[in-house]
Every structure is written in structure tokens, then in C-alpha cells.
């Protein structure tokens, strides 16, 4: 699964870790996160994330 980076703040969503504090279980693909989820650091929506090229 791909990692995604928040453009405004640099937070990286790693599917292996999820976002437990935000209610996202480890192993959850970015595409499967609810549309109302926001960055845990700066609060922007999923539209402000892009794929991390490895």
C-alpha cells in the first residue's frame, strides 16, 4: 500500500500504522479512509494529500 503526504504540513499517512487516534485502524489503505477524515497535524482534508514517490 502506498504512503501519502500532507502537502501543507508534511505529515505522512502510513497504511501500516493507520491513524489510531483518528479512528483509522492499521492496515487501512488511504483510499478506504472516510472522506471526512482530516490530517491529525494540521486538519486539512484528503484532497491535500498526494502519493509519496519511493
42 labeled part of a ligand binding site: yes
11 labeled part of a ligand binding site: no
9 labeled part of a ligand binding site: yes
CA dist., res. 44 & res. 54, Å (int): 23
Contact of 13 with 19, CB cutoff 8 Å: yes
6 labeled part of a ligand binding site: yes
CA dist., res. 25 & res. 48, Å (int): 21
Annotated binding-site residue numbers: 6, 9, 39, 42
Annotated binding-site residue numbers for Fe cation: 6, 9, 39, 42
Amino acid at each position: 500500500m502506498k504512503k501519502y503526504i500532507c502537502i501543507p504540513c508534511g505529515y505522512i499517512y502510513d497504511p501500516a500504522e493507520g491513524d489510531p487516534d483518528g479512528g483509522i485502524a492499521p492496515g487501512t489503505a488511504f483510499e478506504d479512509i472516510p472522506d471526512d477524515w482530516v490530517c491529525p497535524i494540521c486538519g486539512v482534508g484528503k484532497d491535500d494529500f498526494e502519493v509519496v514517490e519511493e
